Amino acid sequence: MHMNAYVCAHSSPPDAILRELAHETAEWYPGEVSLPIAPEQGTFMTILTRLIGARSAIEIGTFTGYSSICLARKYWDRAGLGGKIELRLGPALDTVRALPGTPQFDLAFIDADKTGYLAYWNEVVPRVRPGGAILVDNTFSHGRVLDAGNESELVQAVRDFNDHAAADDRVEVIMLPLGDGLTLARKK
C-alpha cells in the first residue's frame, strides 16, 4: 500500500458533499483533477480551522470550491452560501489589496497562481491576526523544488517563496508533506 493511501485510510474522510464535489470537478475538468486540494489536506484544514476557532478566513485561489468548504464547512450552492462565503472574482492581488490592511482574518489559504505567491504572502500576512494561521499549497511543486536543473519561472517562484517564508520573522513556519506540500505558518 502506498504511504499516501495509508495516511488517507487513517484520517477522517471527506464528507459526502466534498466527495460529490470532487467527483463532479473531475468530470468537468478531466485534465485538471489535481487542482482541488487533496482530501487529506482538506481534513487537515478542517481540523485546523476548528482547533484555532477560526471565524473569518480568506482563500486566494478557489477553483470549484473544495478547500472553501473545508475552511467554512458551508455548502456553497446547496445552502445558498448562507452569507458566510463571499466570492470575489478577479485578479487576486487587486482583491486582497482592496481589503483594509489591518489584521482581520483568523486564517488565510493561498492556492492561486504560483508566480504570485510571494506577493500574496506579503499582502496576506499583515491581514492575519496574531495567533492566526496561513496555509500555502503546492510548496513542493511536485518535487521540482529539489530539481536543480529545473529553472522554470513557476518552480523558481515557489523556491523563492519557500525561502522567504522560512526567513520571515513575522511567522513561525512548518512545511507539511501533505499532498503537494502544504506550508503552515502561525502569525506571531
Ligand X SMILES: C[S@@+](CC[C@H](N)C(=O)[O-])C[C@H]1O[C@@H](n2cnc3c(N)ncnc32)[C@H](O)[C@@H]1O
Is 91 or 126 the residue whose CB approaches ligand X more closely?
A: 91
Nearest CA among 118, 123, 121 for reference residue 97: 123
Is there binding between residue 14 and ligand X (CB under 6 A)?
A: no
Is there binding between residue 111 and ligand X (CB under 6 A)?
A: yes
Is there binding between residue 116 and ligand X (CB under 6 A)?
A: yes
Which DSSP string corresponds to 91-126?
Answer: -HHHHHHTS-SS--EEEEEE-S-GGGHHHHHHHHGG
Is 110 or 125 the residue whose CB approaches ligand X more closely?
A: 110
For residues 82 and 79, what is the distance between their CA atoms, to the nearest angstrom?
6
Is there binding between residue 35 and ligand X (CB under 6 A)?
A: yes
| The one among 18, 37, 125, 136 contacting ligand X by CB under 6 A | 37
Q: Which residues contact 72 (CB under 8 A, 6 or more apart)?
A: 57, 84, 85
Residue 140 and residue 157 in contact, taking contact as beta carbons nearer than 8 Å: no
Is there binding between residue 161 and ligand X (CB under 6 A)?
A: no
Is there binding between residue 13 and ligand X (CB under 6 A)?
A: no
Residue 92 and residue 147 in contact, taking contact as beta carbons nearer than 8 Å: no
Is 64 or 183 the residue whose CB approaches ligand X more closely?
A: 64
Write the single-letter amino acid at 16: A
Minimum Å gap between C-beta 137 and ligand X is 7
Whole-Å CA distances, 90 to 60, 62, 71, 94: 10, 11, 21, 8
Residue 96 and residue 124 in contact, taking contact as beta carbons nearer than 8 Å: yes
Binding mask 59-98 for ligand X (x = CB under 6 A): --xxxx-xx-----------------------xx------
Is there binding between residue 46 and ligand X (CB under 6 A)?
A: no
Is 7 or 170 the residue whose CB approaches ligand X more closely?
A: 7
Interface residues toward ligand X, by CB under 6 A: 35-37, 61-64, 66-67, 91-92, 111-113, 116
